[in-house]
Amino acid sequence: MITTRAVCLWVGLLCLAAGLASADDTTQTPQIRDYLALRQTLKPVPFTPEVAQAAQSSWRGRTFEIVGRIIGRTNACVATRNKPLTFMLHVPGVSEMLLVDTTKDDPAIAVDQVVHVLALFPEAASPVEHFQLKALVLESDLPSDQHTYQQAMAEARITAPASVSAADVGAVATSHDLNRKPELPSAPATGAAASSPAPPAPPRPGTEMPRELASNVPDQKIATWKSWVAGINPRLSDAELEIIVRSVLYYSAYFGLDHRLSFAMIKCESGFNPRCVSHAGAMGLTQLMPGTAKAVGCGDPWDLEKNIRGGLKYLSDQLRAFSGRSNYEQCALGLAAYNAGPNAVKRAGGVPNIPETVRHVKKVTDLFYQLWKSGMP
């Protein structure tokens, strides 16, 4: 919930004209003077959390002033109108990353830079919604009294729900600390080593419940997730639903993932179709490529439980590679690495400008946030 104090803070912090106009012009760089002049001409709308929550149809054709931190960018050498450079902004109090296109590179467009941006949201709808950059300045180049990002971050944390007070407000990321040992669901003693949780594969996927998955999970929680998965793929049998749900819950805990992120990832990867095969050859529920399946020890990608175990292990590995970042960045970059490969993320210095990957990251993070916000257990 955003308080009245938060709204006042956002509006006050984003009204830069008065402070900048009163500054001695000789202390301003040409870029700052151009930014201020364009701001006065365009009269942009401050991009507050309230604006972010409004329907995107209300954004169309409007210019916004956005204060945020760059969490990724494409590695375009020469940006053009047909192939723009795209960078991603994290805005305090806003759950979704914002995608901004520009036809000209700038040294300021670098990961971890805090920037003030003037950007137009296009009139026409498109599959991937990007803002169009009009002007940009580094916050560090502005007078110190205009350094608003950290204040907005602090306010966002104050107004965040208690259950996510340790993370950026609305940050679409894992709710568990990925650097600590996860707490496993309680399960009957089986004699199996905790470091090797994978039981023998059932004769056919969905026909036998592995012992390790018969953990002490409340029946209502199982039933709620079975109903959700069945709503996505009604062709699944009850036995398949049982194994899918229990596998996701068990291995999410085992690998230190929020199970809602796991469910969101699988939904966006395969629509819970166990026999899904992509044009590139990715297989099953978590869309494991043959090489990835081998690397994570998944001997049979068509086995429901083994596919989920392998996919969640790989997702956990990608997220851990970005430990030390904010939850939001860790989630976005980890999902991008899962979809496009860790080398693609490394080359791009962030989420690569691959339309499929950009859409995938947005879809998964949006769904994860929806599941969290709706109170899914």
Is the pLDDT score of 104 beyond 60?
A: yes
Asked if 138 and 270 sit in the same domain, the reply is no
Task: Give yes or no: residues 151 and 217 share one domain.
Answer: no
Q: Is 305 one of the annotated active-site residues of the chain?
A: no
Structural domain contains residue 232: yes
Would 178 be classed as within a structural domain? no
269-298: pLDDT as tens digits: 999 999 888 878 889 999 999 889 999 999
3-state SS of the chain is CCCHHHHHHHHHHHCCHHHHHHCCHHHCCHHHHHHHHHHHHHCCEECCHHHHHCCHHHCCCCEEEEEEEEEEECCCCCCCCCCCEEEEEECCCCCCCEEEEECCCCCCCCCCCEEEEEEECCCCCCCCCCEEEEEEEEHHHCCHHHCCHHHHHHHHHHHCCHHHCCCCCCCCCCCCCCCCCCCCCCCCCCCCCCCCCCCCCCCCCCCCCCHHHCCCCCHHHHHHHHHHHHHHCCCCCHHHHHHHHHHHHHHHHHCCCCHHHHHHHHHHHHCCCCCCECCCCCECCCCECHHHHHHCCCCCCCCHHHHHHHHHHHHHHHHHCCECECHHHHHHHHHHHHHHCHHHHHHHCCCCCCHHHHHHHHHHHHHHHHHHHCCCC
The answer to whether residues 134 and 265 belong to one domain is: no
pLDDT class for 212, splitting at 50, 70, 90? low
Q: How confident is the model at residue 315 (pLDDT cuts 50, 70, 90)?
A: very high
187 or 245, higher pLDDT: 245
pLDDT above 70 coverage of the chain, percent:
72
Q: Is the pLDDT of residue 195 over 90?
A: no
Domain assignment of residue 65, yes or no: yes
Q: Is residue 180 part of a domain?
A: no
- Of the three residues 141, 157, 173, the one that is the final residue of a domain is 157
More confident residue, 185 or 136: 136
Residue 89 has pLDDT above 80, yes or no: yes
What integer pLDDT is reported at residue 217 of this predicted model?
A: 78
258 & 128 share domain: no
88 domain-assigned: yes
Q: Is there a domain that residue 295 lies in?
A: yes
**Structural domain range at position 294:** 211-373
pTM: 0.52
> Is 7 or 37 the better-scoring residue by pLDDT?
37
Q: Which of 155, 269, 305, 329 is catalytic?
A: 269
Q: How many domains does the chain have?
A: 2
pLDDT value at residue 132: 93
pLDDT of residue 281: 84
Domain boundary among 136, 157, 178: 157
Between 352 and 172, the higher pLDDT residue? 352
pLDDT at 161 over 70: no
pLDDT tens-digit readout, 121-157: 999 876 567 899 999 999 988 888 888 888 888 777 6
Residue 214 has a pLDDT of 54
Q: Please give the average per-residue pLDDT across 35-48, as a whole number.
A: 92
Q: How confident is the model at residue 6 (pLDDT cuts 50, 70, 90)?
A: very low
Range of weakest confidence among 38-42, 88-92, 254-258, 273-277: 88-92
